[in-house]
Amino acid sequence: MIHAVWLIPALPLAGFLVLLASGKKLGDPKAGYLATSAMAASFLVTVGVWIDLMGRHAEERRFEQDLFAWMPVGGLHVDIGFLVDPLSVTMALFVTGVGALIHLYAIGYMHGDGRYHQFFLYLNLFAFSMLMLVLSSSFLLTFLGWEGVGACSYFLISFWFERPSAATAGKKAFVINRVGDFGFMLAMFLIFATVGSLNYVPVLEEAGTLAKGTATAIALLLFVGAVGKSAQLPLYVWLPDAMEGPTPVSALIHAATMVTAGVFLMVRVNPILDAAPGVLTLIATVGALTALFAATIACAQNDIKKVLAYSTVSQLGYMFLAVGSGAYIAAIFHMVTHAFFKALLFLGAGSVIHGMHDEQDMKRMGALRKWMPVTSGTFIVGWLAIAGVPPFSGFWSKDDILLGAWEKNRLLWLIGLITALMTAYYMTRQVILVFYGKAQWGTAAAPAASRHDPGPSPGEAAAEPEHEPAASANGHGSAHGGGAHGEFKPHESPGTMAFPLVVLAALAALGGILKTPLEHWLEPVLAHPHHFTSSSSTKLGLIVVTTAAALAGLAIAYAIWAKRRVRESAVEPSLLQHAWYVDELYEALVWKPSRALANASAFIVDAKIIDGTVNGVGALVRAGGSRLRTVQSGFVRNYALAVAVGAVAILAYAVARTS
Amino acid sequence: MSVPGAWYLGLAAMLFTIGGVGLLVRRNVLIMFMCVELMLNAVNLTFVTYARMLNDIGGQVVVFFVLVVAAAEVVVGLAIIVSIFRRRADATADDVSLLRG
């Protein structure tokens, strides 16, 4: 079965090609079923490969398959080949598994969209690229998948490109990802220059022998790539905007799989990172700061998907904190549990948006628990998982990360702890606003008719004043709130959407049992397996403190949002609503200078200097020609005179020389 | 008593100068043409003189070539002049200046 590993990416690719050729003919919903079955089949193959790999001894759990030579050029030899080891199989398992569930969900969610088949075409192409990324046996092939998922991310964020904000968000994601890709490429050049190969196996075997400076440079450049793809400080700004895409895309690409590619890469190259301890500290610091920073923003967002987006950035920060602490397995473990509960939360949010007829403002929801029992039940499981309440999966993985951080640096641990508290807080706030309290959706005008209206994001709030009075009316209008339910009622989503929710909820609840098996399973991948050194009493103490922090976050949110002990404006400062004005800062620091530079080069350098040079040469030749043409007078005797004078001059010269 | 070679050379130089000045100052195409012939024959005279002075038959050979080329040139040149006079009876060289920049 392990020899069938090429089928794992080939099946989504086949789905993509079939949809490309005849997607329009298949239409809605057959195109969706085709794409979903391709993913499901790919998942089954992955399970087969996994079982095969499990049957081997721990030391022999590495299998390489080369399909054909891709680039046999001089010293560079790159194969289209796969590296099957516990790490890539773990990634492939949850990419195909969660991916298949999200495909299934999208069948219902995208129903009725004009470009239904195109959506699934992109989803399958994405799955293919992502699987190439995780399964490839060389940096270059991983980079191919890396760029492929980036392109699919762009296509899918801008899927509703009729909306200018979606088109802009797609461009933003693409451009910012370029910054990271640049780091990845430089890292590859450096690796090839020093090791002479781009295949993982030889490079990672020689990682220990690299000079320290080289190892540090490679690790740093790869980390730059990971920062771009996994939305860490300072390149995280594209991820919140990526929520302009359809919700299944947010769940699949911008929560569960693509954004974790950076973490995967870091774990894949762990021997290089181990050779560069300074970079590890940097990774841990960036991760911890991103986790805290994004969590603060998530506390004050009103868009149901924006909260989850910032939460994703924050959780990715956790994973980098784990990588930086050397606790690679904890990072992968959290990546897996995060894929479960964040995909669940996003799909739940999509279900809410679907049921609320494209409303995304949480302040205009409320009391949906009665109307959407499956969605609310599963969402609550996801909430408890991400908040880190035992015994849900998030508790176990977060606990491991905080233990790793504790052993690395107490300050990083404290930042992680505060983030855990804030995570519990903002998720509780979201659950209360959406599913509990009083219904806020009957009072305002019927939601906009346009499909999937993104609602006022903080940045656009000023530009859309009509939402403001409505929101404040809801805030004070408890008199209207209870009874009057305008023209529409929220509804539960269809079965294809509910089923993935239930499966993911089960995984999010029970994911914690993977902890010990995963530790043994992934250990052969690591060059220097990391073991927690703390005593069991310290571990227990940390667990108590972490759980207390999570429960405190829950309690604070309950007091503020359920009991309404504090005014809303006090806990939602505009600084946080505007995400620390980072977008505005980037606009001032990057966008405006680049624009000024572009203007200068277009209208001064290009128009004046370059065009001026070309036109100047032309004008010079013209002027010279119009002067010289008078010499050709047509008078034969003038010519004869010129010849005579010339002959005399040459003779005079010759005579002067000889004498 | 033979005439010294330098005299022949002086005569040739005078003939050449007369031809060159005539070419430059006269406007009648036929006169200009005759001046060109004068210059050609001045050169021929030089060649013959040197052939004699240096005892080298090559100079005389070149004169034959020049004569042949001059005969051909006369044919073409006279044909052009005849066709010019067919168009306008009183044409001078300065009137035929259509090929100018």
Beta partners for A81? A66
B97 with A634: Cβ contact below 8 A: yes
Q: Which string of b and e fits A245-271 if b means at least 16 CB within 10 Å?
A: bbbbbbbbbbbbbbbbbbbbbbbbbbb
Q: What is d(CA A127, CA A143) in angstroms, rounded to the nearest whole number?
A: 15
Q: Is the pLDDT of residue A474 over 80?
A: no
For residue A548, what pLDDT is reported?
92
Sort out which chain B residues have CB atoms less than 8 A from A628's CB and list them.
Answer: 101
**CB within 8 A of A395, min separation 6: which ones?**
A385, A388, A389, A512, A546, A547, A550
B96 with A636: Cβ contact below 8 A: yes
ipTM tops the 0.95 cut = no
Pick from A382, A349, A363: nearest CA to A493? A349
Instruction: Please check whether residue A371 is in contact with residue A434, taking contact to mean a CB–CB distance below 8 angstroms.
Output: no
Inside any domain, residue B101: no
Q: Is the pLDDT of residue A1 over 90?
A: no
Mean pLDDT lowest for which of A244-258, A312-326, A564-578?
A564-578
For residue B1, what pLDDT is reported?
62
- Categorize the per-residue pLDDT at A495 as very low, low, confident or very high, splitting at 50, 70 and 90: confident
- Categorize the per-residue pLDDT at A487 as very low, low, confident or very high, splitting at 50, 70 and 90: low
- Categorize the per-residue pLDDT at A488 as very low, low, confident or very high, splitting at 50, 70 and 90: low
Inside any domain, residue B46: yes
Inside any domain, residue B97: no
Judged by CB atoms within 8 Å, which residues 10-29 of B form the interface with A? 20, 23-24, 27
Mean pLDDT lowest for which of A77-81, A343-347, A606-610?
A77-81
Interface test with B, best of A622, A628, A633, A637 (most B CBs within 10 A): A637
Q: Is the pLDDT of residue A395 over 70?
A: yes
Q: How far is B33 from chain A (nearest CA, A)?
A: 12
Q: Per residue in A385-394, pLDDT tens?
A: 999 888 899 8
Sort out which chain A residues have CB atoms less than 8 A from B27's CB and list them.
Answer: 637
How crowded is residue A222: how many other Cβ atoms within 10 Å of its Cβ? 28
Q: A-B interface: how many C-beta pairs under 8 angstroms?
A: 34
For residue A468, what pLDDT is reported?
34
Q: What is d(CA A322, CA A324) in angstroms, rounded to the nearest whole number?
A: 5
- Report percent pLDDT > 90 for chain A: 52
**What is the domain-level CATH number for residue B73?**
1.10.287.3510
A633 with B100: Cβ contact below 8 A: yes
Residue written as token pair 């999570």? A550
For residue A65, what pLDDT is reported?
87
Backbone angles phi, psi at A73, to 5 degrees: -120, 110
Nearest CA in chain A to B98: A634
For residue A462, what pLDDT is reported?
37
- Categorize the per-residue pLDDT at A464 as very low, low, confident or very high, splitting at 50, 70 and 90: very low
Name every residue in A having a CB less than 8 A away from some CB of B.
628-637, 640-641, 644
Instruction: Please check whether residue A70 is in contact with residue A80, taking contact to mean a CB–CB distance below 8 angstroms.
Output: yes
- Averaged confidence pLDDT in chain A: 86
Inside any domain, residue B83: yes
Mean pLDDT of A571-577: 82
Sort out which chain B residues have CB atoms less than 8 A from A640's CB and list them.
Answer: 23-24
Beta partners for A82? A65, A136
Boundaries of domain holding B66 = 5-87
Inside any domain, residue B73: yes
Q: Is the pLDDT of residue A194 over 60?
A: yes
Mean pLDDT lowest for which of B4-18, B37-51, B85-99?
B85-99
Q: The pTM is what?
A: 0.77
- Count of structural domains, chain B: 1
Nearest CA in chain A to B17: A644
Nearest to B101 among A630, A641, A644 (CB): A630
Question: DSSP string of B8-74?
Answer: HHHHHHHHHHHHHHHHHH---HHHHHHHHHHHHHHHHHHHHHHHHHHT-THHHHHHHHHHHHHHHHH
Q: How far is B97 from chain A (nearest CA, A)?
A: 4
Inside any domain, residue B9: yes
- Report percent pLDDT > 70 for chain A: 93
Mean pLDDT of A149-157: 93
For residue A443, what pLDDT is reported?
59
- Categorize the per-residue pLDDT at A114 as very low, low, confident or very high, splitting at 50, 70 and 90: confident
Q: Is the pLDDT of residue B69 over 90?
A: yes
Residue A436 in tokens: 């509990």
* B32 touching chain A per CB within 8 A: yes
Q: Per residue in B35-68, pLDDT tens?
A: 999 999 999 999 999 999 999 999 999 999 999 9
Q: Per residue in A575-589, pLDDT tens?
A: 888 888 888 888 899
Most confident of A363-372, A410-419, A513-522: A410-419
**DSSP H stretches of helix in A436-513:** 458-461, 467-476, 478-481, 495-510
**Conformation bin of residue A74: beta by default, left when phi > 0, alpha when psi is -120 to 50:** left
